[in-house]
Amino acid sequence: MNITIVELPNYEVAYIRRFGSYLEPNTHWGRLMEWSFSEGLFPPAQDFIGISLDNPSLVTPDNCRHDACVTLPSNFKKGEHKEIKYQTLEGGLFALCSYYGEPQNLHIAYDQVYGQWLPASDFEPDFNRSNLEFSRNNPAEDSKSYANVDLYVPIKEK
């Protein structure tokens, strides 16, 4: 497991939230991408970021929240868009763990950071900020249908 400590800036994002199991098929990513592309917001200039807001071990699957986000350029004019909301993702110190595998197994990266790396490190989780899942590919276009995700876990010194 390779973990890197990085400092991230704040990010202004547009997002769509969904409720439901993280393992079930969803449509909010497709809706966000369609909107993003119509607004000229796509990689490499912008990033797509997923935010799993709940621990599925503590919250029932139907109540798990997930935000599909796209970063916004500083000159973006926030308008009235159906199903689009805006938020600022707080930057700071993060542990970066890269994951390449089946999308439904992203929890393996979480388990490595929270269960193995953090307890042995000089850091602890900063639960006042969100984990950020930067999507580096579209699994539907990957030869193995794998997700390439940079998982950023917010941390602070013990």
DSSP-derived secondary structure for 45-87: TS-EEEEE-S-TTTS-GGG-EEEEEEE--TT------TT-EEE
Q: Quick one: pLDDT at residue 15? A: 97
Burial (CB count <10 Å: 0-12, 13-18, 19+), residue 143: exposed
- Residue 4: which residues within 8 A CB-CB, separation 6 or more? 95, 96
Percent over 70 (pLDDT), the chain: 100
Q: Residue 151 is part of which domain span?
A: 3-157
Can you tell me the distance from the alpha carbon of 137 to that of 108, in angstroms, rounded to the nearest whole number? 18
Give pTM, 2 decimals. Answer: 0.93
Can you tell me the distance from the alpha carbon of 52 to that of 36, in angstroms, rounded to the nearest whole number? 20
pLDDT above 80: residue 71:
yes
pLDDT above 80: residue 69:
yes
The amino acid sitting at 156 is K
Domain of 145, CATH number, reads 3.20.80.10
| Mean pLDDT, residues 109-115 | 94
In total, how many domains does the chain have?
A: 1
pLDDT digits (tens, 9 = 90+) for 135-149: 999 898 999 999 999
pLDDT digits (tens, 9 = 90+) for 9-64: 999 999 999 999 988 878 999 999 999 999 999 999 999 999 999 988 899 999 99
**Spatial contact of 123 and 96, defined as CB atoms under 8 Å apart:** no
Burial (CB count <10 Å: 0-12, 13-18, 19+), residue 64: buried
- Residue 59: which residues within 8 A CB-CB, separation 6 or more? none
| Mean pLDDT, residues 114-122 | 96
Can you tell me the distance from the alpha carbon of 72 to that of 110, in angstroms, rounded to the nearest whole number? 26
- Residue 131: which residues within 8 A CB-CB, separation 6 or more? 51, 52, 110, 151, 152, 153, 154
Q: Quick one: pLDDT at residue 94? A: 98
Q: At which residue do the structure tokens 């042995």 appear? A: 120
